[in-house]
Structure 1
Amino acid sequence: MLTKEQSILHFDFQNQRVHPDRLTRKTHAHYLPLAQQMLAAYRQGVGQPRRTLHKSIRLILQNTDDCSTRRIAAFCKLLDDASEYRKDTASKAAKLRERVFLLAATKHPLVQATDQLFDHAESEVKQQIAKELNREWDEIESVLFNDVIEFHPLIQPPKELDAGGLLRCYNVAQTQAALYGALSMTVWAERDFKQIMRYAKLARLMHSIEPHGTGYRLRFDGPASVVRSTRRYGVALAKFLPGLLSAEGWRMQATVLGPMQQRYALRLSPRDGLRSEVRNDDFDSDLEKSFYEAWQQAETAGWVLLREATILHQGQSVFMPDFTLRHPIHGDVLLEIVGFWTPEYLQEKGRTLNRFRDSGRILLAISHSVAESIPELGMPRIEYNTKLSPARVLKYLKTL
């Protein structure tokens, strides 16, 4: 994602709307060949440091009248995110730099050409250091600052990204950046509801759900009371956006804090043409993923584990448990995993569970660290420490 310094927002003060920067085919067709040139610069620049690649991008875009420095910086960030750089995780560069500087210190000052006052030529000292370290100087120089981000060498340019894809990424990234200042978001979903819910949970967003017409309304609210940081909440909403864009049949409105602390509306729907490909990951956390994988390897006596397969309704409220355990004879048991989160979240979780206590057979798996925060609800519960084992769940299922 982009940083706040790379985002471009256009505020409509009269209508209280905010419009993220967007490149369109009609107005910005000239960016397509420029995107091809930018990708070519990276694909031909393997081994070059990050700052050299960024300079190449600036040269490509510098004569484009409508391309601001922020837009240039945004393209550099997106290309970097799609690439892979060699990073000095073992601090080898710092150790090498210390050795080189210590060897060179006794020869200072270094000059291009010696004279009567200065008798240490830079080129000669470099060769002496290279001989001392038993390495070629060009090799030493190429890795001397590998621990500085601007000097990280490119080892893998963008693989599957084409020019059109780069421009689409730009539009999505600018919209994500607009959400950094979001206070709340409402999504009306007519289709792909489970998919939208899954990505909301993956982004760890606090939400409420209620039926609305033929679909559902999801509200993501409360940064001040829930996560105590508008910025952090906005970043979570930004992470959720690609998942939302990959769905169909929805519309969204977010309230964004703008200039003079005024509130502005950001509205989106599939008609806006933003699309995003997301990684297909069915799990909200490593805990759920490890439990699911362990279940597939266990002897489960005919119980099948399904991910978010059941939606419960209670008046104007909706609840989708984490798993459904299904057996051809014993029917369905719903499994909800409660892990560590904020006190406010746990209180809301307790209210939700209490509301749906009579909506089916619900088994609670509660982290030992928060067990006291969930009141007794008349539901069976099991506790776990760091991992939830299938054996604990199966032990309960055998009692049915």
Structure 2
Amino acid sequence: MLPSPLLRARSWKGRMIILFARGKPIEIELARVLIDTYQKHVGKKLGELSSSLDEIEEYYESLGVDYRLVRGLSILLERRCKFSKPETLIQPRRARKTVFELCNAKLGGFTTSQEERNSILNKAAWDLGISREELEESLWADLEENLNLIDFDEIEEERLLKLYNQSLLQTALFKALSLILRTRAPGRELKRVLREIKFRKLMYQAEKEDGFLILRIDGPASIMKMTTRYGTSLAKLIPSIIPLSHWEIEASVVRRSEGREKRVLRLLLGSKERDLFPRNERILDRYDSQIERNFSKMVSALDWKVEREPEALLAGKALFFPDFKLEKGPLSVYVEVVGFWTSNYLQKKLKKISDVEERLILIVDKNLACSSFQKLPHPVFYYEGRIDFGSFARFLSRIEESSKKMVDKEIMERLVKVKLEDCVDIRKLAKEIDVTKDQLLNVLKQGIFKGYVVAGDVMIKEELLDRVRRIVETSGTKFFSEISKLMSNAGFREEFHLPLIQAAGYKLVWRSLDLSDAVIE
């Protein structure tokens, strides 16, 4: 974060527009010059560094660069420095006390000539048992300008500009009344944000809208009145928000106009601008137990897509973070694996789980089970020691069966939007509408498409079958390879030759492992 006077922003139609550093050549050049200046002044006094920085600011200001950018970058670089006080034979405060007392006693408090000054300093040095030069080095050694720059943690200019942008955004939020975060990020990413909200003693209300999770963040006193007292705490959330895979923030920020009147401006920003900010380490999937790791492998083998720590679910106005999300076509199920929970934590967790409206199943260790699980509005699968593959497969099958009407309805709605060809590869169609082949076949076999028949993994227009029969009957051969050539000449794609022949009432007889020997009967 930066001092408020260094905020670079303007207002436009009730909005606050932050003037970020966008990597222009002159900005990169300025960053490089400042970095080099700090590096060259290692081993020198801060006063010398400050003089050089003043010259740089004056030069770049003459080129049209905002002085606030120069100072903002300088502040960030100064935070990467280590300074030390000069070593002196006596404490600077003691040296000054001795000199001032002598000056008061002999000259009434001040000197009027160089001769008088020399006399006082020589006498003070004698009284302190040090040389005149050592006394002068000690007198003002504790002033900031006399600090020694002993180390500088160098940084690349592009990263410096991105850190500056992050600090600028935080500075803009100093006077924020509240912050709204919209995100589609998975739960494993969002947990860090919630930890920061709790650590900063802020509050949030959660809701969902159009696929977004919305967090309205403010502080306790905001319930009573509009206040900017939580602005700094809101600003400190930014480093945890920027790494999210998707985010949009909206803040109401109090800003004084040139006439010193207060105005409330809207600040809008999103992850589309992520390249302006520093990259953070990606949050990797991790498992809290071997049970969870084995569960993930097992469910994947059952033709379900498995997502570890998916998006957060609403539990009233709070958030619940399930362990997994299972998907099979239109059907999605959230899973919470109940391992070791203390009784107090368990009761709080069960209360939150009971408020979750999405389809949720609980995987519960029998040894930890209690009657409270039976009162939950969600199905429970009990295990002992390990999760039995067969038992859980049957459990999921019952979930699928109970959801069949919903799944079929969703598939039919998706099929309405698809333009069907005369021959349809069911596997490809299933992939196109994002369902499993078995789910799609189950719907197609209900005969929802009049004039089509299903043959294996292909759906075929019935009127094509008479053409296929004529080709077979007039071919003068029974060999599949020769009939296949005739079908290609008639415009049928090779991948559909065998399904078409079978749908027309013929069968393929293999006489060897060579397809060219196969015949049609």
For this structure pair, what is the TM-score category when the shorter chain's length is used for normalisation?
0.5 to 0.7
Question: What is the one-letter code of the residue matched to 1:171?
Answer: N
- Provide the secondary structure at the position in 1 that maps to 2:2: coil
Per-residue deviation, 1:275? 1.8
**Equivalent residues of 2:174, 2:232 under 8 A apart:** yes
Per-residue deviation, 1:143? 5.0
Cα deviation 1:245-293 (Å, max 9, x = unaligned): 222211111111123332211111222123236799xxxxxxxxxxxxx
Match for residue 17 of structure 1? Answer: 15
The 3 A distance-change label for structure 1 pair 44 and 111 is: farther
Per-residue deviation, 1:79? 2.2
Match for residue 391 of structure 1? Answer: none
Question: What is the one-letter code of the residue matched to 2:58?
Answer: Q
**Equivalent of 2:65 in 59, 64, 67:** 67
Count of residues in Structure 1 that have an aligned counterpart in Structure 2: 310
Q: Distance in 1 between matches of 2:43 and 2:343?
A: 50
Q: Which runs of 5+ in 2 are unaligned?
A: 283-308, 323-336, 356-361, 363-371, 373-521
**Equivalent of 2:201 in 201, 204, 223:** 204
Q: Distance in 2 between matches of 1:227 and 1:6?
A: 31
- Provide the secondary structure at the position in 2 that maps to 1:166: helix
**Equivalent residues of 2:196, 2:240 under 8 A apart:** yes
**Equivalent of 1:178 in 165, 172, 176:** 172
Q: Distance in 2 between matches of 1:335 and 1:212?
A: 34
The 3 A distance-change label for structure 1 pair 168 and 243 is: same
**Equivalent residues of 1:250, 1:269 under 8 A apart:** yes
**Equivalent of 1:225 in 218, 222, 227:** 222
TM-score when scaled to structure 2? 0.49
**Equivalent of 2:341 in 333, 339, 344:** 333
Question: What is the one-letter code of the residue matched to 1:240?
Answer: L
**Equivalent of 2:278 in 276, 279, 288:** 276
Match for residue 325 of structure 1? Answer: none
Question: What is the one-letter code of the residue matched to 2:277?
Answer: R
Match for residue 305 of structure 2? Answer: none
Q: Which moved more, 1:147-156 or 1:161-170?
A: 147-156
The 3 A distance-change label for structure 1 pair 214 and 225 is: closer
Larger helix share, 1 or 2: 2
Cα deviation 1:347-400 (Å, max 9, x = unaligned): xxxxx989628569xxxxxxxxxxxxxxxxx9xxxxxxxxxxxxxxxxxxxxxx
Match for residue 82 of structure 1? Answer: 80
Q: Distance in 1 between matches of 2:92 and 2:200?
A: 36
**Equivalent of 1:241 in 207, 227, 238:** 238
- Provide the secondary structure at the position in 1 that maps to 2:180: strand
Give the number of the structure with larger relative contact order, counting CA–CA contacts within 8 Å between residues 6 or more apart.
1
**Equivalent residues of 1:196, 1:247 under 8 A apart:** no
Per-residue deviation, 1:171? 1.8
**Equivalent residues of 2:313, 2:320 under 8 A apart:** yes
Q: Does 2:121 match 1:126?
A: yes
Q: Distance in 2 between matches of 1:335 and 1:139?
A: 69
Match for residue 35 of structure 1? Answer: 31
Cα deviation 1:331-354 (Å, max 9, x = unaligned): 3427989xxxxxxxxxxxxxx989
Per-residue deviation, 1:140? 4.6
The 3 A distance-change label for structure 1 pair 316 and 233 is: closer
Q: Does 2:265 match 1:264?
A: yes
Aligned 1:291-370 pairs, distance under 5 A: 313-315=314-316, 317-319=318-320, 331-333=339-341, 356=352, 358=354
Bigger Rg, structure 1 or 2: 2
**Equivalent residues of 1:16, 1:264 under 8 A apart:** yes
Cα deviation 1:64-109 (Å, max 9, x = unaligned): 2323443333233222222233379xx9543443233324545545
The 3 A distance-change label for structure 1 pair 165 and 126 is: farther
Q: Distance in 2 between matches of 1:195 and 1:203?
A: 12
Cα deviation 1:15-42 (Å, max 9, x = unaligned): 21111222222xx311322222222222
Question: What is the one-letter code of the residue matched to 1:100?
Answer: V
**Equivalent residues of 2:83, 2:150 under 8 A apart:** yes
Per-residue deviation, 1:194? 2.2
Per-residue deviation, 1:51? 4.4
Per-residue deviation, 1:43? 2.2
Q: Distance in 1 between matches of 2:48 and 2:206?
A: 49
**Equivalent residues of 2:98, 2:124 under 8 A apart:** no
Q: Distance in 2 between matches of 1:139 and 1:161?
A: 37
**Equivalent residues of 2:206, 2:314 under 8 A apart:** no
Question: What is the one-letter code of the residue matched to 1:75?
Answer: L
Q: Does 2:163 match 1:165?
A: no
Q: Distance in 2 between matches of 1:194 and 1:208?
A: 15
The 3 A distance-change label for structure 1 pair 246 and 138 is: farther
The 3 A distance-change label for structure 1 pair 236 and 222 is: closer
Q: Distance in 1 between matches of 2:204 and 2:272?
A: 25
- Provide the secondary structure at the position in 2 that maps to 1:271: helix
Question: What is the one-letter code of the residue matched to 1:56?
Answer: S
Q: Does 2:54 match 1:58?
A: yes
**Equivalent residues of 2:315, 2:353 under 8 A apart:** no
Question: What is the one-letter code of the residue matched to 2:124?
Answer: I
The 3 A distance-change label for structure 1 pair 278 and 43 is: same
Q: Distance in 2 between matches of 1:173 and 1:23?
A: 11
The 3 A distance-change label for structure 1 pair 172 and 330 is: closer
Q: Distance in 1 between matches of 2:247 and 2:100?
A: 60
Q: Does 2:263 match 1:255?
A: no
- Provide the secondary structure at the position in 2 that maps to 1:70: helix
The alignment yields a C-alpha RMSD, in angstroms, of 4.4
Per-residue deviation, 1:241? 1.0
- Provide the secondary structure at the position in 2 that maps to 1:204: coil
Per-residue deviation, 1:186? 0.9
Q: Distance in 2 between matches of 1:214 and 1:144?
A: 66
TM-score when scaled to structure 1? 0.62
Per-residue deviation, 1:235? 0.7
